[in-house]
Amino acid sequence: MAQSHSHTPQDSNARRLFWAFAVTALFMVAEIIGGLVSGSLALLADAGHMLTDAAALLVALVAVQFARRPPNARHTFGWLRLTTLAAFVNAIALVVITILIVWEAIQRFYQPQPVAGGMMLIVAFAGLAANIASFWILHRGSEEKNLNVRAAALHVMGDLLGSVGAIIAALVIMWTGWTPIDPILSVLVSCLVLRSAWSLLKESVNELLEGAPGAIDIESLKRKLSRSIPEVRNVHHVHLWLVGEKPLITLHVQVIPPHDHDALLGRIHHFLAHEYQIEHATVQMEYQPCEGPNCDLNEHDHSGHAHHHH
């Protein structure tokens, strides 16, 4: 392929993600080695945080690559769900790392370990520099509103705090020799890790359980659709879920028999794409009120509103 400069946003996203990943992964290894050599738990906690970043960047990178692979007969959505699964595994790994670090921190309160402050400081500063570099690489990519790139940039922001924590701990140890500051700050950094892990876990589990995206209220979607398109009498049997962060919907609409069936269908699709950014919709149009068992999947009473299950 000849070097051309007409790169798609996807290419530039992939390139940015790759460089941010390379920088983060490299410094994560540096922090693990530095943490083990200097005996600093705060550095190891920050390395744990960097692992979350590296994993988030890798997931984002894989997502960009897999999103390009066309769907096939067996995987009709392509491989988009793979990224959700990866995020889920990532989140669980983070929780485990956090538990290990907090456990080690508790041990160290009882038996303080010697910590080489000077070395710790150098490694922590290097980590901070790496975070700033990868944040800068990613932030230039955030004009394309790619959720993965934004999430990765957020991760790296949180990580800046982790490195700052390690720097503070190193300075305190160098000036006062008070080593318990190291486990104390490692616990604080772990809390940051836990916070990003929790939100990741929540989102990925919601997507794996075919949950609706939190931003879309189905009841209000039904009301708005019947209000903005006069021919629509009733909207029911709505299913909304996510695949690789793309919302998908299937729904039945009972309509007044139109002159132009396809034009009305087109308006419904336009409404969903325009109002809710749902590009992939399957709409079943009906002229009679919906009868039969499959209409009762979500509607428990026939006064036109489903019971809420919260």
Return the pLDDT at 146. Answer: 60
My answer on whether 254 and 127 are in the same domain is no
My answer on whether 191 and 234 are in the same domain is no
My answer on whether 187 and 246 are in the same domain is no
Q: Give the type of residue at 2.
A: A
Return the pLDDT at 33. Answer: 92
Cα–Cα distance, 98 to 205 (Å, whole number)? 20
Between 119 and 310, the higher pLDDT residue: 119
My answer on whether 229 and 197 are in the same domain is no
Residue 3, in any domain of the structure: no
Q: What is the pLDDT of residues 118-176, one digit of tens each?
A: 888 898 898 889 888 888 887 775 555 566 666 666 667 777 877 888 888 889 988 98
My answer on whether 159 and 271 are in the same domain is no
Between 248 and 89, the higher pLDDT residue: 248
- Within 13 Å and on the Cβ side, how many CA atoms surround 150? 6
Cα–Cα distance, 67 to 77 (Å, whole number)? 9
CATH of the domain at 179: 1.20.1510.10
My answer on whether 88 and 193 are in the same domain is yes
My answer on whether 21 and 165 are in the same domain is yes
Return the pLDDT at 294. Answer: 60
My answer on whether 257 and 238 are in the same domain is yes
Mean pLDDT in residue range 41-54: 82
Cα–Cα distance, 118 to 309 (Å, whole number)? 57
Q: What share of the chain is helix, strand, coil (3-state, %, to 5)?
A: 65, 10, 25
Last residue of a domain, one of 160, 176, 208: 208
Residue 157, in any domain of the structure: yes
Residue 104, in any domain of the structure: yes
Cα–Cα distance, 132 to 200 (Å, whole number)? 22
My answer on whether 142 and 203 are in the same domain is yes
My answer on whether 129 and 251 are in the same domain is no
Q: Give the type of residue at 56.
A: A
Last residue of a domain, one of 188, 208, 228: 208
What is the rounded average pLDDT for all residues in the chain? 80
Residue 305 has pLDDT above 70, yes or no: no
Residue 310, in any domain of the structure: no
Q: What is the pLDDT of residues 249-303, one digit of tens each?
A: 999 999 988 888 899 999 999 999 998 888 889 999 888 876 666 655 544 444 4
**Distance between start and end Cα atoms, the chain:** 53
CATH of the domain at 276: 3.30.70.1350
Residue 304, in any domain of the structure: no
What is the residue range of 223's domain?
218-297
Residue 2, in any domain of the structure: no
Confidence of residue 188 (pLDDT cuts 50, 70, 90): confident
Residue 303, in any domain of the structure: no
CB 149 within 8 A of CB 17: yes
Structure tokens at 79: 């491989």
Last residue of a domain, one of 184, 208, 232: 208
Residue 308 has pLDDT above 50, yes or no: no
Total count of domains within the chain: 2
Residue 247, in any domain of the structure: yes
My answer on whether 188 and 249 are in the same domain is no
pTM of the model: 0.65
My answer on whether 84 and 145 are in the same domain is yes
Ranges 102-111, 191-200, 287-296: which has the least confidence: 287-296
Percent above pLDDT 70 for the chain? 83
